[in-house]
Amino acid sequence: MSRPMSQSAGRRPPNILFLMVDQLTTQALPFHGHPVVQAPHMTRLASEGVVFDSAYCNFPICAPSRFSMLSGRLPHTIEAWDNASEFAAGTPTMAHYLRAAGYRTILCGKMHFIGPDQLHGYEERLTTDIYPADFAWTPDWLKGPSHRPTGVSMRPVLEAGPCLRSMQIDYDDEVEYRGAQCLYDLARAPGDKPFFLTVSFTHPHPPFVSPQKHWDLYRDEDIDSPRVPPIPFDQLDEHSRWLHIAHAQDEYTVTDADVLRARHAYYGMVSYVDEKVGRILQVLKETGLDRDTVVVLAGDHGEMLGERGMWFKQCFFEGSARVPLVVSMPGRFAPARVAAHVSLVDLLPTFLEISQCAVAPVDRLDGRSLLPLLSESEPGTDRTVIAEYSAEGVCAPSRMVRDGAHKYILTRGLPPMLFDLAADPDELHDLAGRPEHAELQRRLHARAVEGWDPEEVHARILHSQRRRLFLAEVAAGSPGQTNWAYQPFVDESKRFIRGSGAAGPTSVKARARFPFVPPVQPDRKP
């Protein structure tokens, strides 16, 4: 039976509140079965909305995942190779299309844009970003996996624990404040336009440091160990060996106590960002904006969290590639769980359909609208997910195909991998090369190389790296180099009472009150 649709014909499209969290793995969420982690606000949102149980990012690292999601296109089509790839200003995004549909588009928080365009269709941006906007983090595959432009190592795991403040706490506290304030402003001065507000937090991205308040939510004895213990180096697949070296795991000793402390901190970080999400949702409800707003919660990629002895992301195992995705609008979408495979590139066509955008996409989109799944009009069994990886930590491009119960991973120059996740959810038994799976492997391989030639993509990536490394070297230390980091602007002339006149200050004060109360008129003549 189809879910009820509350929007009547001729009514303006609903607002869209897009909540993003960074490096949030489904394996650490209560609404995906974790028995210890406390995330009541996200759990409540999930209970009221549609939860996608098999949602994937299209690139398991920050910037390319976001670029792909915003454009609705697979990463290689927009040259989103790594965390230092420029996101071209000529690439249309969901923000552009929603503006064309009459939306007011606002970004608050992290998006990791690289390049001089730090808006990409958003009309307003309320905060700066948290990571570099230039080419400083360009990988160099010619130097092998030990080359670490971001300085990643096992230190975040070994240094995990509670803290009073951190750079990330400073950042997300500001994102929460400005996101909530934006909702208040939208409620106090409603216009004719619906809004598309993206509020994007950086937690629970490492380092693994949690506010003491949220650390104390968990007892040491309650922290669970990884399901899959560390796999010896000589038994790892080559991609995992690359990451072992790239993360300097051969240079540090990580004990069981270190693992549990890092997981403890991560759980606290999840609870911390859940509190932030809860605050935004509270303001949405308090202002009454929730009655006409679709809320979407998503992560950009996951976190391995010690499974298989692996940390961070950068691979296609479930902990890294699978992401939370919830869509909620009570009265329009009935609560449900969706088993179909979907991915973040599906969000742009979904938003286009929700917004009733009359502008046809100017580029071929790789995503498919989720609205049929939200309305139960499509079983979704034929959906296939494609993901790519070509960033720091590896030396060749990779591609993943998720189809039915199976996952196929192809890396240039390496043996492919094939897993049956129905029978082997921990991805421990590689079926590639077995005669009984030859036809399945042939079919999935054909899908993996469809429009993606490993040799051609590899050459493009190497050329891109050489160009960006040259430009970064030339710019290094140059006093005249323009900083692409976004500088938020606040027009103080339009805040508070900044003018004079008998009527001005009084009327400003009255309008600033929410809910609005008409000014009391004199009941006696002077």
Domain presence at residue 187: yes
Q: Answer whether residue 512 shows pLDDT above 80.
A: no
Helix axes 40-48, 256-286, angle to 10 degrees: 60
Is residue 410 assigned to a domain? no
CA dist., res. 335 & res. 107, Å (int): 27
Taking the C-alpha atoms of residue 160 and residue 153, their distance in angstroms, rounded to an integer, is: 13
Average pLDDT, stretch 25-35? 97
The answer to whether 488 touches 111, Cβ cutoff 8 Å, is: no
What is the pLDDT at residue 5? 33
129: in domain: yes
- Nearest alpha carbon to residue 348 among 389, 314, 305, 298: 298
Q: Is the model more confident about 189 or about 29?
A: 29
Q: Considering 57, 62, 182, 395, which one is annotated as catalytic?
A: 62
Contact criterion met (CB below 8 Å) for 189 and 512: no
Whether residue 155 is predicted with pLDDT greater than 70 in this model: the reply is yes
- Any idea what the CATH number is for the domain that residue 291 is in? 3.40.720.10
| φ, ψ of residue 252 in degrees (nearest 5) | -130, 145
Query: What mean pLDDT is predicted for residues 325-341?
Result: 94
Q: Can you point out the beta strands (E) in 412-452?
A: 417-420
Give pLDDT tens digits for 65-75.
Answer: 999 999 999 99
The torsion angle over the Cα atoms of residues 105, 130, 462 and 236, rounded to 10 degrees, is: -110
Q: Is residue 391 part of a domain?
A: no
In sequence order, the 6+-apart residues with CB closer than 8 A to the CB of 160 are 207, 208, 209, 258, 261, 262, 264, 265, 266
| pLDDT over threshold 80, residue 495 | no
**Confidence tier at 218 by pLDDT (50, 70, 90):** very high
Give the per-residue pLDDT at 6.
34
Task: Look up 395 and say whether it is catalytic.
Answer: no
Task: Tell me whether residue 215 is in a domain.
Answer: yes
pLDDT band at 500 (very low <50, low <70, confident <90, very high): low
Which pLDDT belongs to residue 475? 84
User: Band of the pLDDT at 7, cuts 50, 70, 90?
Assistant: very low
Q: What's the total number of domains in the chain?
A: 1
Q: Is the pLDDT score of 1 beyond 80?
A: no
CA Rg, the chain, in Å?
A: 24
**What pLDDT score does 9 carry?**
42
What are 355-359's contacts with CB under 8 Å, separation 24+? 355/13, 355/16, 355/97, 355/98, 355/101, 355/102, 355/103, 355/194, 355/196, 356/13, 356/101, 357/97, 357/98, 357/100, 357/101, 358/100, 358/101, 359/97, 359/100, 359/101
Q: What is the pLDDT of residues 306-320, one digit of tens each?
A: 999 999 999 999 999
pLDDT at residue 401, as a whole number? 98
Burial grade of 81 (CB within 10 A; 0-12, 13-18, 19 or more): buried
**% the chain with pLDDT above 90:** 83
Question: Nearest Cα to 256, choosing from 238, 276, 230?
Answer: 230
Cα–Cα distances (Å) from 506 to 284, 497, 520, in that order, read: 27, 9, 11
- The pLDDT assigned to 336 comes to 93
pLDDT at 381: 63
Does residue 522 surpass a pLDDT of 90?
no
Residue range 223-251, pLDDT digits in tens: 999 999 999 999 999 999 999 999 999 99
pLDDT digits (tens, 9 = 90+) for 413-435: 999 999 999 999 999 999 999 99
Q: Active-site residue 108, yes or no?
A: no
Q: Is the pLDDT of residue 4 over 70?
A: no
Q: Where are the beta strands (DSSP E) in 365-432?
A: 384-389, 398-403, 406-411, 417-420
pLDDT exceeds cutoff 60 at 494: yes
Is residue 461 a part of any domain in this protein? no
Structure tokens at 70: 């915003």
* pLDDT exceeds cutoff 80 at 388: yes
Q: Is residue 120 part of a domain?
A: yes
The pLDDT of 472-490, averaged and rounded, is 82
* pLDDT of the residue at 8: 38
Q: What average pLDDT does the segment 346-366 reach?
A: 95
Question: What domain range is 278 assigned to?
Answer: 15-383
- Written as six digits, the tokens of 364 are 């071929």
User: To the nearest whole number, what is the mean pLDDT of the chain?
Assistant: 92
Residue 304 lies in a domain: yes
Total number of residues shown for the chain = 526
pLDDT value at 3 more than 70: no
Catalytic residue among 41, 112, 301, 406: 112
Strand arrangement of the beta sheet that strand 398-403 belongs to:
384-389, 398-403, 406-411, 417-420
